[in-house]
Amino acid sequence: MTISIWRYSHMILAVSSAIFIFLATVTGIILAFEPISNQIKPYAITSASNLSLAETIETLQNEYNEVVTLKKDENDFVIASVITKEGRSNRFYINPFTGKKIGDIIKKASIFEFATNLHRSLFLKSTGRFLVGLFSFFLFLIAITGIKLIIKRQGGFKRFFSKVVKEEFAQYYHVIIGRYALIPLVIITISGIYLSLEKFDVLPSNKITHTKTQISENSKKIAVKDFKIFNATLLNEFKHLEFPFSDDEEDYFVLKLENKELYINQYSGDIISKGDFPLPLLASNLSLKLHTGQGNFLWAILLLLTCFAILFFMYSGFAMTLKRKKRSSSKMQNISDKDTAEYIILVGSETGHTQRFAKQFFEAMCLKTTSVFIDQLNNYTSYKRAKHLIVFTATYGEGEAPSNAKNFETLLDVIKQNQTIQYSVVGFGSLMYPNFCKYAIIVDALLQKNKSFMPNLPLFKINNQSLEAFKTWLGQWNDSTSLNLKIQLNKPTINRKKLSNFEVISHTEINVDDTFILQLRPQFIQKFQSGDLLAFYPEDDNVERLYSIGRVEDNILLSIKRHEFGVCSRQLSQLTQKTMIKAKIRRNLDFHFPTYAKEVVMIANGTGIAPFLGMINDKSNDVKAHLFWGGRTHDSLEIYSKFIDKAFNKKTLSSFHVAYSQEEGKKVYVQDVIQENADMIARILNTDGVVMICGSIAMQNRVLEVLNDITTEKLKQPLSTFENNEQIKMDCY
């Protein structure tokens, strides 16, 4: 398995610091509740922020024998340390208006005490602090590499927050949550590192240096309540005030504000000396605030959520790593040498999926001939006896080479083969990305230009690791060579207990196109709607077959084409009424009817019409719907016509455009009809309408080309703009 340096460091850092980060996160979750629980205590007097310090001091001096210190804590609770009239020393929260005690000091709960110790030093004192600081730094690096990976994955910094392609649960949410949690995560780690460093004498000193101020000689004794500085200072700027220790003239008030410290003569009220907080001290205070969430309810909640996000990253990260490892676990063992093999297989894989296909192909080849050699595209070199080159490659980002194929282009240029080699390129990718199999296209073109190579099979693209498509290509390959390869594509295991029963309600005759409509009803109530998928798992191979659902009343409507050798479609075509069949509903949220749009264009060919038959009958009149359908002949339409007529009568379908490709005279395809209605399509897309496409991949590609022409010509924007805006919904196979 090859992976890019970024992903590799992201993973290695995570693995090496997992235990520490886990401990810090769990204790962090506990600690987040401390500021939250303190904040909800009723000791903050919000209206007191505009009260002057002089007023509070006066009330306190009247109320108590002596005041030692007055302090406002991070929760804005005012704490006074006093000697009461009874001569007892005491410390408590006060109401700054009345000077009266309103509560005892909150004692740090032992659970927080414990969690704090574990969080910052793992009970290992200095060693622990160092480790925590170090792993905090690691977490910071993980966040940074994570940002880099998201940028790469999304295809550029500008697309950072654009839609993420959903492949697997763990991967999808790792990215989705990652994008939002990264910012607080970076803040937490940087402040954490700062706080750790503080204990190791490596930061500049945060001591306050005082400078004496000029005092006028003839200052007189005045009452404390008349001190200029105390009258000018409001409670919301004030932090801490220490009263003079004794009556001696040299003892003074020490007043701390947000960013400075003042010494104040206890008789004249003059400022004796002033010290600004140095930058390191301000940074330290800020770090503490940001790291602990003290005094800020919302920030504390955000910190708490970030902690949960970290736990999720750990889970999903490990889930992904394990999966990837599993995919590429058993290493490929070459029997022959690169210079003796006739067949050379080169692989470009990013996540390991492509590798799996290549490996199965390689193993099948090994059964037939010993002269096969498999390697990564990056290791391209001279192959003395090679006759065939087969390239399996994925695409990374916006048409870039996967990490183990980055050097292929250069190597191909430099290294010359002595003989002519026939080549075939198989691209793996997902149609959900704008640059489907782009790198495979590039490789194919490079080989075509190279004089040492001659095409054997045209470029073949495989969407979403489709086994069917791969089998199709294998058929072509077998035809082109004398080898009759058989690949036992792993039969997945299915837990049949998790499938539900569906009763066959009706079953139309099989029409001229070998197509029929099947209506099923779930035995028990289930949530589903048009656009969802029904998955069948024929017992022969357990491979999932998905059919798009159209919801008509409470029934599932499926439009199925019977394939000559199709295991599943054949079985389904033989079903009789009232029999039960096992299947599973797959929610397909990306292909639900967009009730938020004003106008919707539905484009389908063949059996792809099924979800739309449900949608046009199940919607309100508010959203205008236009249906485009491509079929072979007039007769093809017949099994669908009753659903379309019904929608017309209910006025839930605004227009219906049909194209026949096999009628006498002119061959018309659905994309031709779309081209004819270019103005309407452009208008709908421009007014936030949605285009939905369901049917074959070939049709989808043609339709997307036409749509792109329409948008570039009429709206001066590429189709991808609308795709990113989620105005194009597709469900093709």
Partner 1 sequence: MKNTHTFKIAPLLALTVLLLFGFTTKQPSSAYKCMIQMTNYTGEGAYIVISLLNPQGDYEKTIYVQGDDEEWYHDITEWWKFQGRKRTDIDAITGATISGGERAISIIEIEDEFIDRGYKIRFESAVEDQDYFKDDVEFELTSESVKSKVDGKGFIRYIRLIPQ
Site of interaction with partner 1 (CB under 8 A) = 66, 68-69, 81, 83, 87, 89, 108, 113, 117, 125-126, 199, 201, 205, 207-208, 242, 245-246
The gap between the terminal CA atoms of the chain, to the nearest Å, is 29
* Nearest approach, Cβ of residue 246 and partner 1 (Å): 5
Nearer to partner 1, 125 or 650 (CB): 125
* Nearest approach, Cβ of residue 85 and partner 1 (Å): 13
78 DSSP β-pair partners: 72
**Residues 444, 427: Cα–Cα separation, whole Å:** 9
Nearer to partner 1, 240 or 561 (CB): 240
**Residues 478, 457: Cα–Cα separation, whole Å:** 11
Whether residue 255 contacts residue 233, with contact meaning beta carbons closer than 8 Å, is answered with yes
* Nearest approach, Cβ of residue 88 and partner 1 (Å): 8
* Nearest approach, Cβ of residue 125 and partner 1 (Å): 5
Nearer to partner 1, 73 or 350 (CB): 73
Whether residue 335 contacts residue 372, with contact meaning beta carbons closer than 8 Å, is answered with yes
Local structure of residue 450 (DSSP, 8 states)? S
* Nearest approach, Cβ of residue 138 and partner 1 (Å): 23
Q: Which of 668, 663, 670, 675 is nearest to 636 (CA)?
A: 663
* Nearest approach, Cβ of residue 126 and partner 1 (Å): 4
* Nearest approach, Cβ of residue 54 and partner 1 (Å): 21
How are beta strands 580-586 and 599-605 bridged, if at all? unpaired
Tokens of 28: 């962090």
**Residues 362, 580: Cα–Cα separation, whole Å:** 41
Q: Is 161 helix (H, G, I), strand (E, B) or coil?
A: coil
Whether residue 453 contacts residue 487, with contact meaning beta carbons closer than 8 Å, is answered with no
How are beta strands 580-586 and 533-536 bridged, if at all? antiparallel
Whether residue 505 contacts residue 629, with contact meaning beta carbons closer than 8 Å, is answered with no
Q: Give exposure, 251-284, as e/b (b: 16+ Cβ within 10 Å).
A: ebbbbbbeeebbbbbbbbbbbbbeeebbeebebb
* Nearest approach, Cβ of residue 193 and partner 1 (Å): 17
* Nearest approach, Cβ of residue 34 and partner 1 (Å): 15
Nearer to partner 1, 284 or 452 (CB): 284
Nearer to partner 1, 202 or 589 (CB): 202
Four-point Cα dihedral 83, 88, 94, 99, nearest 10: -50
Q: Which of 722, 726, 673, 723 is nearest to 702 (CA)?
A: 673
* Nearest approach, Cβ of residue 374 and partner 1 (Å): 57
Q: Is 545 helix (H, G, I), strand (E, B) or coil?
A: strand
Report the length, in residues, of the chain.
733
Concatenating the DSSP letter of every residue in 301-344 gives HHHHHHHHHHHHHHHHHHHHHHHHHHHT-SPP---S-TTT-SEE
What is the SS3 assignment for 253-286? EEEEECCEEEEEECCCCCEEEEEECCHHHHHHHH
Nearer to partner 1, 275 or 434 (CB): 275
Nearer to partner 1, 205 or 418 (CB): 205
Neighbours of 339 (CB within 10 A): 12
Nearer to partner 1, 83 or 186 (CB): 83
Burial of 126: CB neighbours in 10 Å, binned 0-12, 13-18, 19+? exposed
Nearer to partner 1, 242 or 532 (CB): 242
**Residues 594, 433: Cα–Cα separation, whole Å:** 21
Ramachandran sector of residue 695 (left: φ over 0; alpha: ψ -120 to 50; beta: rest) = left
Nearer to partner 1, 64 or 373 (CB): 64
Nearer to partner 1, 81 or 265 (CB): 81
699 half-sphere exposure, CB direction, 13 A CA radius: 29
**Residues 521, 729: Cα–Cα separation, whole Å:** 26
Nearer to partner 1, 265 or 548 (CB): 265
Q: Residue 723 to residues 31, 492, 673, 690, 729: CA-CA distances in angstroms?
A: 43, 33, 21, 10, 8
**Residues 165, 152: Cα–Cα separation, whole Å:** 13
**Residues 673, 277: Cα–Cα separation, whole Å:** 74
Nearer to partner 1, 116 or 508 (CB): 116
Token pair 């919301």 is found at: 236
* Nearest approach, Cβ of residue 113 and partner 1 (Å): 6
Q: Residue 106 to residues 14, 92, 340, 605: CA-CA distances in angstroms?
A: 37, 9, 80, 71
Nearer to partner 1, 126 or 501 (CB): 126
Helix and strand element counts for the chain (H, E): 19, 27
Nearer to partner 1, 98 or 127 (CB): 127
* Nearest approach, Cβ of residue 586 and partner 1 (Å): 55
Nearer to partner 1, 53 or 70 (CB): 70
Whether residue 659 contacts residue 609, with contact meaning beta carbons closer than 8 Å, is answered with no
* Nearest approach, Cβ of residue 198 and partner 1 (Å): 8
Q: Residue 288 to residues 35, 189, 304: CA-CA distances in angstroms?
A: 12, 12, 15
| Cα 166 → chain centroid | 8
* Nearest approach, Cβ of residue 102 and partner 1 (Å): 20
User: What is the Cα gyration radius of the chain?
Assistant: 36
Nearer to partner 1, 208 or 311 (CB): 208
* Nearest approach, Cβ of residue 67 and partner 1 (Å): 10
* Nearest approach, Cβ of residue 201 and partner 1 (Å): 5
* Nearest approach, Cβ of residue 377 and partner 1 (Å): 54
* Nearest approach, Cβ of residue 274 and partner 1 (Å): 16
Nearer to partner 1, 88 or 497 (CB): 88
